[in-house]
Homo-oligomer: A and B are copies of this chain.
Amino acid sequence: MEDKHLLMIPGPTPVPPKVLSATAKPPIGHRSGDFSKILAEVTENLNWLHQTKSNVLMLTVSGTGAMEAGIINFLSPGDRVLVGSNGKFGDRWAQISKAFGLDVDVISADWGKPLDTEEFRQELEGDKEKKIKAVIVTHSETSTGVLNDLETINKYVKNHGESLIIVDAVTSLGALNVPVDEWELDVVASGSQKGYMIPPGLGFVTVSDKAWKAYENAKIPKFYFDLKKYDKAASKNSTPFTPPINLIYGLQTALQMMKNEGLENIFARHQRLTQATRAGIKALGLSLFAPDEAASTAATSVIPASVEADAIRSTMNKRFNIALAGGQDHMKGKIFRIGHLGFVSDRDILTVLSCLGATLQELGKDVDPGAGVAAAAKVLG
């Protein structure tokens, strides 16, 4: 059925109708007083969302660009970095680090498992000469639906003293608590098409005072990604280069919606959606890829076992106009992923589970099609 799409992937995430309308307003000049006022409001609300007093910097990039800026601004070729990798995005940050000549030490875990915080402790405690300049961690690994224990890894980084912590919060920011200032997170990067509830095209980076000090000695070349330019401009409610004006219109509206809902409510909703989804999946006789204690609030990865993952996605799409995400890289065809990040409600989860039950039945699995809904409804209470 045309125009009846339900987007349940972990990015792009669904965009509220009034945010879409805001993005469709005619652009005005980005150097005008009227636009400065919008930037001032947006920056103030971004700071609220990121729980930080310093400017949240906005770049015209996708999430990878924000993360690249977050890495290259604070390091020099040859610097040693520890990169946690247990999925496609952790792999990518290791690749970026290598591309810019960093001395990369990867701490990896199997896809579907969280990073072992003990390995970080050992590496950091063993680094008596303080050669590790940064620890790079993916908070919520979107490719697997695994949440890494950022708080514990960050504690070991703080004990180390010298190293920065650089966080990919692309699918955690706006979905669960990431108190940037309280945890003294040095660099936190994220992207618009995730918890922010707007279309892709904007990246966000926060920078601590300690990271700004490291910036002074960082020698990786940069211009468009030079975060100091963005920080200086942000202090004057401006941007160094033409910003994506219409996305910022949308962001203004989305942030107002988020403030109305409140941080605690947003986090509780994502927690509730995650638990309901997991309960429903189990009740439908499918397996979860990520363990309960490391469940991402952005996406739930499902191992369908006796049914083809891609057959499920295809039927969900054709019969019910629901888009689910597939596996990435070597997990292609082995898992599917249900996004529950951003503008997603209890109703959406019950909808997905009800259609998933019907789909499994259609694909010949011996299952009570309502079992997922029943289990989820119990969680939703």
A residues near B (Cβ < 8 Å) are 5, 7, 9, 11-12, 14-15, 20-21, 23-32, 60-65, 68, 95-96, 99-101, 191, 193, 199-201, 220-226, 241-247, 323, 325-326
Contact = CB atoms under 8 A, between A and B. Distances in A.
Contact of A64 (B25, B200, B224): B224
B11 A242 contact: yes
Contacts of A223: 64, 68, 95-96, 99-100
Given A61-B61, A221-B100, A221-B101, A245 B23 contact: no
Nearest to A17: B26
Contacts of A15: 26-27
B243 A200 contact: yes
A364 to B, nearest CB: 25
Given A61-B224, A62-B60, A200-B242, A23 B23 contact: yes
Nearest to A244: B201
A25 to B, nearest CB: 8
14 contacts: A12-B30, A27-B199, A28-B323, A31-B326, A60-B60, A60-B61, A60-B200, A61-B61, A63-B242, A64-B242, A68-B223, A68-B224, A193-B245, A221-B221
B241 A244 contact: no
A213 to B, nearest CB: 21
A32 B321 CA distance: 13
A89 B222 CA distance: 17
Given A63-B241, A246-B247, 17 more contacts: A7-B26, A7-B27, A7-B29, A12-B27, A12-B28, A12-B242, A12-B245, A15-B27, A27-B199, A60-B60, A62-B243, A64-B241, A68-B223, A99-B222, A101-B221, A199-B244, A199-B246
A31 B95 CA distance: 22
Nearest to A324: B29
Contacts of A14: 26
A61 B59 CA distance: 8
Closest 4 CB pairs of A and B: A201-B244, A24-B24, A199-B246, A12-B27
